[in-house]
A = this chain, B = another copy of it.
Amino acid sequence: MSALKNFLENFIPSITSDEIEELDTYWNIRRKIKRHEWLTAPGKKDTHLYFIEEGTFKICYEIEGEEVILGFGYPDTLLVDFPSFISETPSEFYIQALKAAKIVGIKKSDFNSFIKSQPSLSDFWRLTLERATLELIEREIDLLTPSPQVRFDRLMKRSPNVFQHIPNRHIASYLRMTPETLSRLKKH
């Protein structure tokens, strides 16, 4: 079974194997991204929903001339430029490969017609959005938390996989601390 099919099966407990097969056929865009290549650039519209088969990504935004990291993508997770996908307008987000990557994508129009033709599967998007909402609330609390130790512990609890896939300096940037502070916290 492909990684995407496995992911769908775990993500939507009620999905049937026929539905997995059908959803899989819509997920028909295959892309290879080289290390440091951008999947999408600031000011561009990208309304695909991607699934990462191999490689890692950082999702970024430039604020007052400084790059800030809003999130990461790694194997077996979804990758999407949410503002662009939801609003269908260009966004200032950019997504860059940290390691050579292989992704599969579905067009928003295909995704929507699929969801409408299979109402039982509209759960897929609802679950994705509910998880994104909860994660963004956790992230908001992270950013409001003064203690680096608490910020580190919260991310470790919430997304332990980040630490397996993403280099320290990018995690440190995401957590708003120096790489030295992150190294010290990881040793404890």
Contact = CB atoms under 8 A, between A and B. Distances in A.
Interface in A118-156: 119, 122, 125-126, 129-130, 132-134, 136-137, 139-141, 143-147, 150
A136 to B, nearest CB: 4
Interface stretch (A50-58, A63-71, A96-104): A63-71
B134 A133 contact: no
A159 interface: no
Q: Provide the main secondary structure of the chain A interface.
A: helix
A83 interface: yes
Contacts of A140: 70, 136, 139-140, 143
Q: Assembly of this chain: how many copies? A: 2
In this complex, the interface size class of chain A, counting residues with CB under 8 Å from chain B, is 20 to 34
Most buried by B among A64, A122, A133, A150: A133
A141 B63 contact: yes
Contacts of A136: 133, 136-137, 139-140
A48 B64 CA distance: 40
A38 interface: no
B141 A143 contact: no
30 contacts: A63-B141, A63-B145, A64-B145, A64-B146, A64-B147, A64-B150, A68-B141, A68-B144, A70-B137, A70-B140, A82-B137, A83-B134, A86-B130, A86-B134, A119-B119, A119-B122, A122-B122, A122-B126, A126-B126, A126-B129, A129-B130, A129-B133, A132-B133, A136-B136, A136-B137, A136-B139, A139-B140, A140-B140, A140-B143, A143-B143
